[in-house]
Each structure stands twice: as C-alpha cells, then as structure tokens.
Amino acid sequence: MPPVNQAWLAQVRARFPALAGDVARLDGPGGSQVPQCVVAAVAGCLTEANANLDGAFAASAAAGAVMAAGRQAAADLVGGSPAEIVFGPNMSTLNFQFAHAVARTLEPGDEIVTTVLDHDANVSPWLQVAEDHGLYVRTVPVTDPDLAIDLRAMEASLSPRTRIVAFTLASNAVGTVTAARRIADLAHDAGALAWADAVHFAPHRRIDVRELGVDVLLCSPYKFFGPHLGLAWARRQLLESWPADRVRPSGETPAGHRFELGTQSHEAIAGLAAAVEYLSSLGAGLDRRSRLDSAFARIRSHEEALARRFLLSVAGIPGVTVHGIADPERTGERTPTFCVTVAGRDPRAVAERLARRGVNVWDGNYYAPELMTHLGLEGRGGAVRIGFLHYTTPDEVDRALTELRIAAG
C-alpha cells in the first residue's frame, strides 16, 4: 500500500475551514466537515438566487439554474440521470416516503427483507408499513466475527412473496462493506427490488447504481462534505409508477419531482452541487463522472492506509476490542470506521475523555440497534465509534490511538 501523500493531504485540508484548529474531527460517520466552496455556494444561493421557481424574473431563473445544477451533480455522483433524482430534508424522511408509496402497491402477505447490519432508517420504515398493510418483515443475520451480511441466510430468506430487499452498502456502525451486487442479484432472482442505503458508503467509495444493480438508493450529502439534505435515486419506471402524495401540479412533472413535497432547500442543493464538484476536483478526467472515478480511487487508497495504520496499532492495546473486520490486510472490505469497546469503561466516558483531549468521536448505538443487540451492547451504552475520512491525517490516527491507550490503562 503506498504511503500517505502528505502534500496532497495538506492541499485538501486547506480547503476546509473547520480543520484549521487543533481538534481531530474523527466524528465523520455522524457528519463530515465542508470545504469553503460549499460554504460559498450556500451563501451565494441565498444572496443571488433566493427566489422560488418558475417566476418571470432573474432571481427565479437563477434558482432554477441552482436546482438543475444540483440534479445533474447528484446524477453524476450516483451514476443515474437527473430525472431520477429526488431531494428531501434527509435520507430518513425520503425513505419513509418511498416505503409508504411502494407499500400501497403491495398485497397483504407480501414480504420485505432487512438485515441486522442496517441503520434503522432502512429498517423502521419497513416495520411501519408492514404493520399498516399486513406485510411480513424478515431479518437477515450477520456473520461473526466479521459482521457481514450472511448471504446464505439472505438467500434462504427469499421467497416468491419477497418484494423488497433492503440493505446497506456499508455499515455506519462497524464499517463493513457489503456484497451489494450479489445481494441485488439475489433480490432480482426472487422478483424483488434491491433497496440500498448508501449513506455511510458515499464519502468512501464511488457509487454507480448501474454497476451495483440496485433499484433504489438513498444517501445524505452532509456525510460527503455537503449540507444537511436528503438525496435519493430510483429507476425512472418506479418513480413514474408509484403513487405520490403531493399538491396538485400544473403540466407534466418529471419522474423524481413527483416525490418532492413543496419548495426544496435551494441553498442546500447549491451546496450539494459544490460538494460533488469539490470531490471531482480531487481526480482527473475529461468529464465530472470520470473525475469522480479517479477521485474516489485516491480517497480509497488514502483511507485504507489510515485504516491499516489504526488496526496494526490498536491490536496491541490491552482491553480495547474492535468489533468487525480487524485484520489490517483486509481494509478493502471495510470503511475506516471503527466500533470499539474499552473493557471496564463506559463508552460515553471514553468519548468525553477524548473530547477533552481534542479528539472528537461518537458513542452510543448510532441508530443500529439490531447490530448492537447482536453484539450484546444495546442498553449498555453501545460502543465508541472512530471514523476517518480523506482529510484525516496519520497524526490524527495516532492521537486517537494514544488516547485510547490511556483510557484503557
């Protein structure tokens, strides 16, 4: 694995105002920092394009341009078309909305498959619509100790009544990257839709909905260096066929727009476009999609070097357990997000101690209650979550390791 490119890393960090201080921001799985270009785009939208759409004046035209640019940027990010993009307040809201829409097309007794690995935003919507419509939810377990989706159990859980297979592309709790294409193929073989949560995956790996083979994909720009916003993609045929709750529009409504209830956050969408452009600037190529391919290859290489550094050292700290893939030679199978427990220490107390030392980390269950129950940590404070992003430095990794060692002592 190549060493960290310090010059490139310094250039990256200089673009993030929040990274100028001495705090190691290792809380990225809960939300990343934003580059200056995103701040400027949000402010610019509010000062130059702060109007509603379809008006006969310049500010309204500028707002329309912001929305069009946001849809194209989102499409470039996920590998779809602008008409297949849906914006909303956050991923959870969009997923509840989609789940209610698709449930209206199902019959009592139809089945939905979820997994123990998933964030609750891709579990609770299905539990709710199942109760409302007489559907059944089957939950696929994970393997130990890797904490990967059990594909044999997944295959066994499918039946002729399966309609949705909901799964994550990467665990926000333990970092496992899932066998997405295999799961999508299993879903399709059963006649079901492959429904992917890409929230944790998006800042770490290149998304390509066609290559993944999924039918629906949701993510959150605030996890990949943009503002708080929800972003969904679905195949156009689905968006055009599902019933949508909305005010009465005039004229034809593009597929994705049918699920956008009311005026969107134009400023957040301007920030999203800037975040995607920022990511593409880290790569090389003739167009934005090819630059994103290159950028994520570089991001992945850097993050895997950090993950290997962490795993090599954390193994030598007595009392600290990494849950999930802990082999330094298997960093390609996970994101650099680590769920750790410290023997005899409350996770909140550990997080507070690290915060006092200028190292920001999360504690709790991260809305992954099924997985925490599997690990025996639900109701016991969960675990400590340490996450690296492409702007994380080797020194920050070492700081986290030092503080963990002291906390465990």
pLDDT of 253 reads 65
Residue 384, classified by CB atoms within 10 Å of its CB into exposed (0-12), middle (13-18) or buried (19+), is buried
Q: How far is the C-alpha of 16 from the C-alpha of 76, rounded, in Å? A: 23
Q: Which two tokens stand for residue 148?
A: 């990967």
pLDDT of 235 reads 96
Is the pLDDT assigned to residue 100 strictly greater than 60?
Answer: yes
Length of the chain: 409
Over range 57-71, report the average pLDDT. Answer: 96
Least confident residue range of 162-176, 232-246, 331-345: 232-246
Over range 176-182, report the average pLDDT. Answer: 98
Over range 60-74, report the average pLDDT. Answer: 97
Over range 374-393, report the average pLDDT. Answer: 97
Residue 250, classified by CB atoms within 10 Å of its CB into exposed (0-12), middle (13-18) or buried (19+), is exposed
* Other CB atoms within 10 Å distance of the CB of residue 243: 12
Q: Which two tokens stand for residue 27?
A: 């809380």
Confidence category of residue 2, pLDDT binned at 50, 70, 90: low
Which helix (H) or strand (E) is 389 found in, with range? none
pLDDT of 266 reads 97
Q: In what order do the strands lie in the sheet with 162-168?
A: 85-88, 230-234, 216-219, 193-197, 162-168, 111-115, 136-140
CB–CB of 389/203 below 8 Å?
yes
Is the pLDDT assigned to residue 174 strictly greater than 70?
Answer: yes
- Helices 288-314 and 394-408: crossing angle in degrees, nearest 10, is 30
What are the structural domains, with CATH classification, of the chain?
Answer: 6-30+289-408 (3.90.1150.10), 41-279 (3.40.640.10)
Confidence category of residue 408, pLDDT binned at 50, 70, 90: very high
- Which residues contact residue 352 at a Cβ distance below 8 angstroms, ignoring those fewer than 6 apart? none
Classify residue 20 by its DSSP letter: G
Over range 65-77, report the average pLDDT. Answer: 97
Residue 155, classified by CB atoms within 10 Å of its CB into exposed (0-12), middle (13-18) or buried (19+), is middle
pLDDT of 5 reads 85
Portion of the chain with pLDDT greater than 90, in percent: 93
Is the pLDDT assigned to residue 21 strictly greater than 70?
Answer: yes
3-state secondary structure 94-130: HHHHHHHHHHCCCCCCCEEEEECCCCHHHCHHHHHHH
Over range 21-30, report the average pLDDT. Answer: 96
CB–CB of 340/318 below 8 Å?
no
pLDDT tens-digit readout, 285-324:
999 999 999 999 999 999 999 999 999 999 999 999 999 9
Q: How far is the C-alpha of 172 from the C-alpha of 27, rounded, in Å? A: 11
Would you give the distance in Å from CA 153 to the centre of its chain? 24
pLDDT of 256 reads 67
pLDDT tens-digit readout, 245-277:
877 654 556 676 889 988 999 999 999 999 999
Q: Which two tokens stand for residue 33?
A: 């920092």
Residue 252, classified by CB atoms within 10 Å of its CB into exposed (0-12), middle (13-18) or buried (19+), is exposed
Is the pLDDT assigned to residue 51 strictly greater than 90?
Answer: yes
Residue 227's SS3 state is coil
Beta strands in 281-396 (DSSP E): 320-323, 337-342, 359-360, 362-364, 383-387
